[in-house]
Amino acid sequence: MDSAKDLSTSFSTMRNLALGSVLALLLVALASGFLVYRAYENSGRRVYVVSQTGSMAALSAGNDAHTPYEARNLMRQFMQTMFGHDQYTFKANLDAALPLIEGRGGRRIYEGFTRGQVLQNYERYAARNAVTVDSVLVDMSKRPWSGAVYIKQRIFIGGQQKEPLPLAAKFNLEETNRSDANPYGLLITNFDYISYNPQLTREEQELLQAQEADRQRRLQEAQRGLAPSGTTAEPTAPVTTPAPTAPVN
C-alpha cells in the first residue's frame, strides 16, 4: 500500500512539474514574440545619422511631428509662389500660396497687389518678378512658433533687370491638418513686413551699370534717328512692385 501511495505521489509531482514547465515555456514564447514585434516596429522607423566618426542608428520622429526643415521649406515655397510670377503664372502661383497662410493675411497681400495693379503692369510692360530667398529663420523651441524670412525681388522688363527690391516679413506658424493644398500641416499667421535693406552685390552693381550704359546708348541712337526699324524705346514708367518694401502696420 505504501508503495502504491508513493508511486501516486511521485506521479502527481512529475505531472505538476511538467505543467509548470509548459506554462513557463508559454510565458517565455509570449514574451519573446512581443519583443520581436516591438523590434520590427521600431526598425521600420529607424534612421541613421552619419558623422565624421561614423554612422549611428536613431529613431525618427513620428509622422505628425513638425521640424524646422519643414517650416523653412514651407516659407520658401510660400514666398516664391506668392511674390514670384508674371502675367501667365500670377493666378496659379497665388492659388498655390494662399492655402499656406491664414485667410486674413492672404487677403491683405492680395489687396496690396490689386492696389498696385501688379497684374496690369505685368501685361503692360511684359514684366515678371523673380524671387530669391536669402534666408529663413525659424524658432520652434517655444510656442507660438515664430520666424522671419528675407527675399529679393528681381523685376524684369523684357530682357532688362531692374534694381533688386528687398522684402522681409515676420510670421508665426500654427499646426493644421495636412492636405494636398498644404502638405506641410503648418499655417502661416501674423504675417507682417519688416525692414530689410541689404547692399547690392558686386555682380548686381556691374549688371545694372552695364544695362544703364546700354540703355543710354540706345537713347542716343534713337535721338540721332539711328535706331533700327521696328525698335521701340524702352518704357520709362516704373513697374509697380508686387509687395511694399516698407513695413506695413
Tens of pLDDT, residues 170-199: 999 999 999 999 999 999 999 999 999 987
C-alpha cell at 107: 487677403
Residue type at 53? T
DSSP single-letter state for residue 241: P
113 and 26 share one domain: no
- Say yes or no: 111 and 192 in one domain: yes
Domain that holds residue 150: 68-223
What pLDDT is recorded for position 226?
Answer: 58
Q: Which position has the grid cell 521600431? A: 42
Q: Which DSSP string corresponds to 55-99?
A: EEEEEPPPTT---HHHHHHHHHHHHHHHH-EETTTHHHHHHHHGG
Q: Tell whether 216 is covered by a domain.
A: yes
Check residue 58 and give its pLDDT: 52
pLDDT (0 to 100) of residue 211: 64
pLDDT by 10s per residue, the chain, length 249:
556 555 566 667 777 766 777 777 777 777 777 776 676 665 555 555 555 555 555 545 455 689 999 999 999 999 999 999 999 999 999 999 999 999 999 999 999 999 999 999 999 999 999 999 999 999 999 999 999 999 999 999 987 888 889 999 999 999 999 999 999 999 999 999 999 998 777 776 676 667 666 766 777 777 777 555 544 445 444 444 444 444 443
- Which domain CATH number covers 158? 3.10.450.230
Residue 232 located in a structural domain? no
Same-domain status, 81 and 184: yes
| Domain count for the chain | 2
Q: Is the peptide bond before 144 cis (omega within 30 degrees of 0)?
A: yes
Residue 33 falls inside a structural domain: yes
Shared domain for 99 and 138, answered yes or no, is yes
Residue 140 half-sphere exposure, CB side, CA atoms within 13 Å?
14
DSSP class of 243:
S
